[in-house]
Every structure is written in C-alpha cells, then in structure tokens.
Structure 1
Amino acid sequence: MNLLLNLVWIIFGGGLVLCLEYLLGGLVLCLTLVGIPFGVQCFKMAGLALMPFGKDIEDLPSAGAMSFGLNIVWALFAGIWIFLTNVVIGVSLALTIIGIPFALQHLKLGMVAFAPFGKRIRG
C-alpha cells in the first residue's frame, strides 16, 4: 500500500517537484563551506519528500547543543517558511477525504523542515 501511495504522491502530490527543489537547494548550499551542514539536511528532506509514506521521524537522543543552535539558524532563515507552506498545503488537502493521507505527509514534512537537525528518518 505504501508503494502505491508513494507513486500517487510522486505524480499528483508534488513529491517529485519537492524532491528536486530540496536537491537543488542542497547543491547550492554545499557550494560554501558554511552551508554544507544545511545542504546535507536538504538532501535528507529530499529523500523524505520523494517517498514519505512508510517512513517515520525519530529524534536522536545524542543531539546536543550544536543541533539546537543549527536548528535555530535553519528555522530563522528557511525553516519557518517551509513549515508554513507545508501546513497551508496540508490544511487545504485535509478539506477533502481523498487528500487526508497527503495532508498528513505534508505535516510530517513540515515538522522535519522546521528543525531538521537531530532527527533521523526511518523506513
């Protein structure tokens, strides 16, 4: 079932476009030495954006002050906007019964996009 939902997500849910956007953002960020940690997080989110069904997000217990600081920088410059975009899309999809599974995936993407450091994607 997850495979079918992921295929529908890629075609109709915008998964391919989201993945390409995160990959492009990650490549641009990795051009600078300072941007490499943020680019790696973009690559992690690209994988989740392409096929989100069947994947879970877990907080790493070993994430410390460095992850917290990087999450603050990320949230200020990009995370809040990506989070709000995913929430708006998720709420609009939740208005239809067919869109509810996709709305939940957008909310999952939004949670990772707000603070990606110190999180692992399982699945």
Structure 2
Amino acid sequence: MRTIGNILWFLLAGWWLALYYALCGLLAFVLIVTIPFGIAAFRLAGYALWPFGRTVVAARDAGVPSVLGNILWIVLFGWHLCLAHIAAGIALCLTIIGIPFGIAAFKLSVLSLVPLGTRVVDADAPQTWAAPVAQTAAWPSHR
C-alpha cells in the first residue's frame, strides 16, 4: 500500500515539491554560508518525493544552534516552501482521493518551516536516539 501511495503522491505533488526543495538547496549551496541549509533542503527533497513509510524524528541534542538555524531558514527558504505545501494540500483536498495526500502535504508544511534538528527515518526502524515529531504516512504501516 505504501508503494501505491508513494507513486500517487509522486505523480500528484511529490515531483514538483521535491524539485522546489532541490532548487532551494542549490541556491543555499551557491551562497556558501548556507550550505547546511542546502543539505537540509536535499534531505527534505527526498522526503517530499517519497514520504509514505518514513517519518521524521527530532534529535534530542539539537540545541540552540538548530533553533537559530531554523529561524534563519524560515526567513530565507521556509516560508515559501511552507506556502507551496499549503497550496498543494488545498489542491489535493479538492478531490476525495486526494484528501489523504492533502493531509500529508499539510503535515510536510510544518516540517518545511523547521527542518534543522530533525532526521528522516524509516517508519519501522527503532527510534532509540530521538523522539518522533510527526508521522506523514496516511497509509497502513505494513508492506
């Protein structure tokens, strides 16, 4: 079920959202100082491309640098990535079939605002080092 959900997500919204993250990541690499933001953007591009069956966990030891980085991220990249996810979520919720994907887009909009101090992991993997942030998968967790 995850694979079907991911394929439908990819076709409906995932490819262009991932492309948008990749473009933001390239811009961050060009600016040199924001290379850590570029790394986060590429990580989120992969997650936006294929989100079902994976989840995001927050690192317990992320600390103040992540908070300060997230504030700068919001100013530079986060606000328009969040708006892109909200627009995708609204568009997807216009159909009955798209509602679970729209909900996933809304959940990803929060992550697009504060990506630093988080890590994308397999939903079935043990999470001993971090606390769960949000689970995007709208499909059952069995394969």
1:64 maps to 63
Distance 2:106 2:39 in 1: 21
> Contact 2:17–2:84 at 8 Å: present in 1 too?
no
Change (3 A) 1:25 1:80: closer
1:79 maps to 78
2:30 maps to 31
Give the TM-score normalised by the residue count of structure 2. Answer: 0.77
2:4 maps to 4
Percent identical across equivalent pairs?
38
**2:99 maps to 1:100:** yes
Considering fraction of residues, name the structure with more strand. Answer: 2
Task: State the AA in 1 paired with 2:3.
Answer: L
Task: State the AA in 2 paired with 1:37.
Answer: P
Task: Deviation per CA, 1:34-82: give whole Å up to 9, x if none.
Answer: 0201101110110011101111111111110000000001112221222
**What is the CA-CA distance between 1:24 and the residue it aligns to?**
2.5
Structure 1 residue runs of 5 or longer lacking an equivalent are none
> Contact 2:21–2:81 at 8 Å: present in 1 too?
no
> Contact 1:6–1:53 at 8 Å: present in 2 too?
yes
> Contact 2:17–2:85 at 8 Å: present in 1 too?
no
Considering fraction of residues, name the structure with more helix. Answer: 1
After superposing on structure 2, the runs of 4+ consecutive aligned residues of structure 1 that deviate more than 3 Å are none
Q: How many residues align?
A: 122
Give the TM-score normalised by the residue count of structure 1. Answer: 0.88
Distance 2:87 2:31 in 1: 31
**What is the CA-CA distance between 1:95 and the residue it aligns to?**
4.0
Structure 2 residue runs of 5 or longer lacking an equivalent are 123-143
Task: Deviation per CA, 1:3-47: give whole Å up to 9, x if none.
Answer: 111111112x12112222222221221123202011011101100
> Contact 2:13–2:88 at 8 Å: present in 1 too?
no
